[in-house]
Amino acid sequence: MTTGFVHSIKDSLAHTRNVAFSRIAGLLGASQVTDETWDELEELLIQADVGVETALYLVERLRKRARGEAILRADILQTALREELRVLLPAPSPLNLGSRSLDVILVVGVNGSGKTTSIAKLAYRYRQQGRRVLLAAADTFRAAAMEQLGIWAERAGVDIVTGPEGGDPGAVLFDAL
């Protein structure tokens, strides 16, 4: 996979990161760190789907750092949060697409985080590389989800498998495979 492609994927996923952590960034602006800051940060991390256990762990790590490094401003705390997240997240490994007869990419995330747009960008990119792409619209319960993905599939010039609204998402995936 080319470096340019990796950078384009990172750029397209930047929106996802921004949406998920925009409220956290708002909290960690230039204000002072207070007891309420810790409580709200914990709540926002949980809302960002990092998980309760991870949210508690991160807040505890940040509290320890704040005491040890005399972090008093929330904007400095934001940098510390990024550093702690980098420690928790594994280093990305390259995708080995095309080495098998079929590659499946499953995209999951919180509502409104840019999954559909990212899927469209991936589909378009792989189509431009001459790959055959099939999208499976398994989000059968969200209003207009299948239609939205259908529009993106048409724009990208790729095929799509859908099911009935409110239908079994697993059935859509089964049909796609």
How do residues 66-115 score in pLDDT, each as one tens digit? Answer: 888 777 777 788 888 889 988 888 777 777 777 678 889 998 887 777 88
Rounded CA separation 79/98 (Å): 38
pLDDT band at 21 (very low <50, low <70, confident <90, very high): low
pLDDT, position 4 = 60
DSSP annotation string for 16-69: HHHHHHHHHHHHTSSSBP-HHHHHHHHHHHHHTTS-HHHHHHHHHHHHHHHHHH
pLDDT at 3 over 60: no
Model pTM?
Answer: 0.55
How do residues 36-48 score in pLDDT, each as one tens digit? Answer: 888 888 888 887 7
CA-nearest of 135, 169, 173 to 152 is 135
